[in-house]
Structure 1
């Protein structure tokens, strides 16, 4: 018997909307990265992040945004900022009682994208 997708283990689309909203709240209050989001449309960012997250972990949603390299080229994101984003994601997962195995999987996914986000 195969294991359920990460999407299903995290609770599906509605639960992931809550997690993404918590990630956003963490980002806009995190002194290390909040200035990155001052001129952002929060609802649009949350929608695209939700699509990306869901589509990448086994959900049926279609991602309508740019690939990570294109989206982050020229932003000059550094390691400190990347780590702050990861910390915010983990805090949101904790808040939503996500298990350690799933947290580890999400963290691995984040780190798999690091080369397309940091110093590009």
Structure 2
């Protein structure tokens, strides 16, 4: 059994950057999600997401961004938006050759953030 980190298994920083780039292409193409990114510095967002995914995957970095609840509280994120975000991340991971086992490991860590990130129910 391999002892290398999930980060190393998926290809390290270069792979994480490719996943994050694909992820944001998907996020910004989804009109239901773009309002969440108004007045957002996309370069800063990209850098934070690379750092976050790297940390979640056991990479050689510590996530030093804002607390998840504090960072997302003002956005009014719904469960539906969270689900779409997770779907976009899963698609980006798959598109970039991340194995099913590693996708599931990353997505389970993201799912653990639902409670601090989601602040509203879907309006339907």
TM-score, length basis structure 2? 0.89
Match of 2:74, SS state, is coil
Residue in 2 that maps onto 1:41: 41
Residue in 2 that maps onto 1:95: 95
Q: What RMSD in Å do the two structures reach over aligned CA positions? A: 1.5
Deviations 1:46-101 (A, max 9, x none): 00111111122211123231111111113211011000100110110111011110
Segments of structure 1 that go 5 or more residues without pairing to the other structure are: none
d(CA) in 1 for partners of 2:83, 2:32 = 10
Moved over 6 A (4+): none
d(CA) in 2 for partners of 1:53, 1:98 = 13
How many residue pairs were aligned?
A: 120
Contact 1:32 1:84 in 2 (8 A): no
Match of 1:74, SS state, is helix
TM-score, length basis structure 1? 0.91
Segments of structure 2 that go 5 or more residues without pairing to the other structure are: none
